[in-house]
């Protein structure tokens, strides 16, 4: 997709810039972090206005104020990369924000329930920052050499439940998994990054020296019945050439083909899959290489920026803006 010449400006009023900002800039879009002064921009110059999703939930009336300031031709959109983390908000706030549907477009990486929050709902996955998470000078061919691996199973991520209750399920899972792997004589390493921070280079090295990279849970899913959206690691690990074994994710089928994805539903099945893929290394590498190519073809943040622009352009076309 080519970035449209008009309109070239996107307003991003979220408290923190999204990972899309650099990708949008690379596509030729000017991303502004504040509202323009009255009369500063010609009519039609703004493609859309992004606001923080939790800012919308806390103050849904702000979306209506933005639409009054920007005019009817500028869609207001929020991207929820933390679903279903909003479930810990006050129920009346969620009900009000959903009932008002103040957003023109509610984009989310996990469509999980009946909460809408916007007049239109769109699935917008997380992605891979391939400038940071990539082969790092290695080749897919070198990753086929089983002698280059130091670990059988690894995980890195926050799991300090003493400080953050939302990581309790993850802490328990990896505690039980570690005991089971030890009893099988399987080499593993689990790193709690809330206690032991890792640089990007260290993360990439661990991914590329691990036969199996596990994904389990996310802090935002605390109290939710199951996982839906794909955390960034589900794209970043394949981008590094690593083999990902993930807990079940409903939206995995929207992002990867069946032969590009490996998952499990519980601890027992995780152990079964670990045993299987350690015994079938070539098959695991074939899945990893297909996933790598899928991420590069479809799941970088440049792709997400293109999808966002397409959403906004389609909205403007349908609303005669």
Q: Which CATH number does the domain housing residue 176 bear?
A: 3.40.50.2000
pLDDT for 226:
65
DSSP characters for 55-68? Answer: HHHH-THHHHHHHH
Residue 218 and residue 231 in contact, taking contact as beta carbons nearer than 8 Å? yes
pLDDT for 3:
43
pLDDT for 4:
42
- In sequence order, the 6+-apart residues with CB closer than 8 A to the CB of 32 are 9, 10, 11, 12
Cα 75 from chain centroid (whole Å) = 23
Residue range(s) defining the domain that contains residue 82: 9-127+300-318
pLDDT for 2:
45
Q: What is the pLDDT of residues 147-178, one digit of tens each?
A: 999 999 999 999 887 887 878 889 999 999 99
In a shared domain, residues 42 and 18: yes
Residue 31 maps to a domain: yes
In a shared domain, residues 289 and 312: no
87-96, 243-252, 260-269, 309-318: least confident range? 87-96
Q: What is the largest CA-CA distance in the chain?
A: 70
201-205, 221-225, 309-313: least confident range? 221-225
In a shared domain, residues 265 and 290: yes
Cβ burial 287-301 (10 Å sphere, 16+ → b, else e) = bbbbbbebbeebbbb
Burial class (CB in 10 A: 0-12, 13-18, 19+), 257: exposed
In a shared domain, residues 161 and 287: yes
Rg (the chain; Cα; Å):
21
Residue 39 and residue 3 in contact, taking contact as beta carbons nearer than 8 Å? no
Q: What is the pLDDT of residues 183-199, one digit of tens each?
A: 999 999 999 999 999 99
Strand 263-264: give its sheet, edge to edge: 188-192, 151-157, 210-215, 244-247, 263-264
Per-range mean pLDDT, top range of 54-58, 112-116, 232-236: 232-236
For 266, phi then psi, to 5°, come to -155, 180
pLDDT for 291:
98
CATH, residue 51: 3.40.50
pLDDT for 220:
76
pLDDT for 255:
97
pLDDT for 225:
64
pLDDT for 137:
97
Q: Tell me 16's DSSP state.
A: S
Structural domains counted in the chain: 2
**Confidence label for 5 from pLDDT (cuts 50, 70 and 90):** very low
**Confidence label for 259 from pLDDT (cuts 50, 70 and 90):** very high
In a shared domain, residues 167 and 285: yes
In a shared domain, residues 294 and 163: yes
In a shared domain, residues 116 and 211: no
In a shared domain, residues 273 and 310: no
Q: What is the pLDDT of residues 13-50, one digit of tens each?
A: 999 888 999 999 999 999 999 998 887 888 788 999 99
- Higher-confidence residue of 236 and 5: namely 236
pLDDT for 190:
98
pLDDT for 92:
84
Quote the percentage of the chain above a pLDDT of 70.
95
- pTM of this structure: 0.92
In a shared domain, residues 204 and 180: yes
Task: Look up residue 96 and give its two tokens.
Answer: 């009000």
Compute the average pLDDT of residues 99-115: 87
pLDDT for 8:
81
CA distance 72 to 53: 20
Burial class (CB in 10 A: 0-12, 13-18, 19+), 278: middle
CA distance 312 to 321: 10
Residue 2 maps to a domain: no
Tell me the CA end-to-end span of the chain in Å, nearest whole number.
20
Residue 262 maps to a domain: yes
Please state, rounded to an integer, the average pLDDT across all residues of the chain: 91
Burial class (CB in 10 A: 0-12, 13-18, 19+), 145: exposed
Distances 142 to 60, 139, 287 between C-alpha atoms, Å:
52, 5, 15
In a shared domain, residues 110 and 205: no
Which residue's entry shows tokens 């328990």? Answer: 172
**Confidence label for 91 from pLDDT (cuts 50, 70 and 90):** confident
Query: Does the structure show a pLDDT above 50 at 235?
Result: yes
CA-closest candidate to residue 261, choices 277, 276, 244: 244
Compute the average pLDDT of residues 2-6: 45
């Amino acid at each position: 997709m080519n970035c449209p010449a008009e309109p070239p400006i996107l307003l991003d009023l979220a408290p923190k810039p999204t990972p899309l900002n650099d990708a949008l800039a690379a596509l030729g879009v000017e991303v502004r972090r504040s509202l323009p002064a009255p009369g500063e921009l010609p009519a039609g110059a703004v493609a859309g206005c992004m606001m923080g999703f939790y800012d919308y939930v806390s103050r849904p009336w702000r979306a209506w104020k933005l639409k009054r300031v920007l005019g009817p031709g500028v869609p207001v959109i929020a991207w929820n990369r933390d679903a279903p983390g909003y479930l810990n908000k006050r129920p009346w706030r969620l009900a009000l924000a959903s009932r008002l549907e103040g957003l023109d477009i509610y984009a989310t990486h996990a469509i999980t329930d009946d909460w809408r929050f916007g007049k239109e709902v769109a699935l917008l996955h997380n992605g891979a920052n391939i400038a940071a998470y990539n082969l790092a000078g290695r080749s897919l061919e070198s990753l086929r050499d089983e002698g280059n691996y130091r670990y059988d199973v690894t995980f890195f991520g926050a799991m300090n439940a003493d400080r953050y209750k939302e990581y309790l399920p993850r802490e328990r899972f990896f505690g039980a998994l570690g005991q089971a792997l030890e009893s099988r004589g399987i080499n593993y390493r689990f790193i709690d990054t809330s206690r032991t921070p890792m640089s990007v280079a260290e993360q990439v090295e661990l991914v590329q020296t691990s036969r199996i990279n596990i994904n389990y849970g996310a802090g935002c899913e605390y109290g939710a019945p199951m996982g839906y959206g794909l955390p960034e690691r589900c794209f970043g690990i394949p981008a590094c050439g690593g083999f990902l074994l993930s807990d079940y994710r409903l939206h995995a089928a929207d992002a990867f083909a069946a032969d590009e994805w490996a998952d499990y539903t519980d601890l027992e099945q995780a152990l079964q899959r670990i045993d299987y893929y350690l015994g079938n290394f070539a098959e695991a590498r074939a899945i990893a290489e297909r996933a790598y190519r899928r991420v590069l073809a479809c799941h970088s943040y440049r792709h997400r920026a293109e999808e966002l622009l397409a959403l906004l352009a389609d909205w403007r076309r349908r609303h005669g803006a």
